[in-house]
Structure 1
Amino acid sequence: MIYHLVEDEVFDAYMQRLFDASARFVIVYSSNDNRGFVAPHVRHRKFTKWVSSFRRDFVLTKHLLNPYAEELDDGGETSFADFYVFERRRTDWG
């Protein structure tokens, strides 16, 4: 839920630590667009662009759409986030 990391420095440091901690997979549950701030505690970013720019040792292998997406709102609980699965490039993990 990285959309709660609204400060650039905090976002960058967290993303670096997250990917550094992984031997093979990283799974992110978040929005992935450039809507920016929608509330003081929510900032949407195209975070996959950050990954492709700063963590080229990982590749997006799966994007799982949220079955409770906002546009499907039927009065129940919704979310603007999806799951994104990144895998360290095979040459980097052996």
Structure 2
Amino acid sequence: MIRKTRTASQLQDEVSRRIQRLQEVVDEGVKIRVPRPQLQEPDATGCNWDIKHFGNLGGYQRDVAAIVAAVRKEFNLSTEEKDLNSLFGDATPTAE
């Protein structure tokens, strides 16, 4: 299966969204803090990121680990660097 590429923020949001849909989390009103994914060398499966050190994880370690594993199978972390100047158009500063 070919992985889709997502930014760190998109991966963080996807993992968070899936965690917050867990029925036990909904029932108990728990808010689990999801850290940003960290880029790593691709592992044996080809995934190039991981997430560790969740906040307020409580007794949900196994469920969260399963969610992270599922998202890692679907997505890779984008390694493209954005050109910040492109956010403001192609204008280049000129000396006057």
Provide TM-score, normalisation by structure 1. Answer: 0.34
The structure number with the bigger radius of gyration is 2
Provide TM-score, normalisation by structure 2. Answer: 0.34
